[in-house]
Amino acid sequence: MQSRSERFAAFRRALKDKGLKSTAQRDAIAQTFFATTRHMSIDDLYQEVRKANPRVGYATVYRTIKLLKDCELADERHFADGQTRYENADSEEDHHDHLICDKCEKIVEFNDQRLELLQEEIATNLGFVLARHRMELYGICRECREGAGGGRRRPER
Amino acid sequence: MQSRSERFAAFRRALKDKGLKSTAQRDAIAQTFFATTRHMSIDDLYQEVRKANPRVGYATVYRTIKLLKDCELADERHFADGQTRYENADSEEDHHDHLICDKCEKIVEFNDQRLELLQEEIATNLGFVLARHRMELYGICRECREGAGGGRRRPER
DNA sequence: GTCAGTGCAAAAGATTTGCATGCGA
DNA sequence: TCGCATGCAAATCTTTTGCACTGAC
C-alpha cells in the first residue's frame, strides 16, 4: 500500500509530467482524498475539502477527481444506489472486493485469494487473459438482521 | 430460462397480487423489455416502446421499469458512463456472470458453481446473508490476442 | 506576462414528482 | 363510479461547461 505522502507525491509528479499546474485547490482536494479510506461521493469530498480550504468550488472537485482518475490514483465505482463514489486506487497486490448491506448500505471490503485464483482459472479456461475484475456481493449484515429492523438506515440521498 | 410469455405472465400476476392495474402502457413496456436481450437504458426502452405504442410517456417507462425491478424481473446496472441500464433478470438457477474482452468488447457469460459457493462462504464469514452478487471479469480474449491487434473494436457508445 | 485553473452560475442530462385527466376493475 | 395510472411539465439531482477573473510558472 502506498502511503498518503507517496500518493500525493505521485500526483504532483503526474501533474508536472502532463505540464499541468499545482494549485492550492488541487493540493487540498488530493490531500483530503488520500487521507480518507472511505468510498467518497463527490459531495462527501467537497464537504471535507472545504473544512481544510473553503476556497474550493464544486466544479474544481469534479475536475480534480477526474485528474486523479487519469493518474490512476482514484477508482470510480458505481454501486447499486446510483451514487458515483471514489476510492483510493489499489496497487496490484492490494486488490479488494466489496460486500454491501442492502439495508444500512454499509460497505465491507474483503480479499480472498481463493476467489482471485478461481477467477483466473475461469478466465483462462474461456481463453481470456484476465486484466482485472469487479465484484460486489449484496446481502444483509448481521447488525441489520439482529437489530430486528433496527439497522441504521442511511438518510435518503 | 423463463420464456418471454412466462415473464409477461409473471408480471401480470405480480400486478394483480399487489392490487395494481394492468394497462396498455405497462403491457407494452413489459413486452418490449422482455423481448430484448440487450442491456437497455431507459431511453432505449422508451424509443422501442413508442414504436409499438406511441401513447407512452417517459415517466411511465421509469415507473414501470421500477415495477419490474420490484418484481425481480429486471436487473439494474450502473455502468461507467453514468447511464443506468436494465436487463432481464436471471432466475436463480440461471444465474450467470460476465467475462468481457477489453478489446473487442465481446461478452462471454459463464457460471461456475465453485464461485457461487465461495462467495456464499465469504459473505457468511463476514456476517452477511447473501442476497445476490455482481461480477465482471475483464481481459483480452484469445481471438484478440492471436489476431495481433486485429480484434474489431466496437464504436464508442 | 501568459495562459491554465478557478468560482460561479447556467446548462445539460437523468430521474422524480405534482396535478389534472383518463381509464381499468 | 372510484381510484389508480398516465402524460406533461416542472422540480430535483448530478455533472459539465462558458466565461471573466486569478494566480502559478
Residues B124 and B67 in one domain: no
Last residue of a domain, one of A59, A88, A117: A88
Domain-located, residue A156: no
| pTM beyond 0.95 | no
Residue-wise pLDDT tens digits, A103-154: 777 889 899 989 989 999 999 999 999 988 888 898 999 988 887 544 444 4
Is B157 a member of any domain? no
CB B104 under 7 Å to nucleic chain C: no
Beta carbons of B65 and B42 less than 8 angstroms apart: yes
Residue B70 lies in a domain: yes
- At A3 the pLDDT is 83
Partner-chain residue, chosen from A127, A135, A142, that has the shortest CB–CB distance to B127: A142
Whether residues A78 and A105 share a domain: the answer is: no
- DSSP type of residue B153: P
The distance of Cα B76 from the centroid of its chain, to the nearest Å, equals: 6
How many domains would you assign to chain B? 2
CATH of the domain at B130: 3.30.1490.190
Domain span holding position A129: 95-145
- What cell does B114 get? 465453485
The reply to whether A70 falls in a domain is yes
Distance in angstroms: CA B43, C1' C7:
34
Cα B91 to chain center, whole Å?
11
- Res B153: pLDDT: 45
Residue in chain A closest to B111 (alpha carbons) equals: A122
Q: Are A7 and A34 in contact (CB under 8 A)?
A: yes
Kindly report, residue by residue over B8-59, the tens digit of the pLDDT.
Answer: 999 999 999 999 999 999 999 999 999 987 788 999 999 999 999 998 999 9
Q: Say whether both A67 and A137 belong to one domain.
A: no
How many angstroms separate the CA atoms of A35 and A50, rounded?
14
The verdict on residue B154 lying in a domain is no
B47 and B100 belong to one structural domain: no
Which nucleotide lies closest to B54 by the C1' atom and the CA atom? D7
Contact call for residues A16 and A47 (beta carbons, < 8 A): no
pLDDT-derived band at A69 (thresholds 50, 70, 90) equals very high
Q: What's the CATH code of the domain at A33?
A: 1.10.10.10
Angle between helix axes A24-35 and A42-52 (nearest 10 degrees) is 120
Tell me whether residue B47 is in a domain. Answer: yes
Domain final residue, candidates B88, B106, B134: B88
Residues B137, B81 within the same domain? no
Query: Closest CA to D25 C1' — which residue?
Result: A21
Protein-proximal nucleotides of chain D (any atom < 7 Å from a CB) = 4-9, 13-18, 23-25
Q: Which of B67, B88, B109 is the last residue of a domain?
A: B88
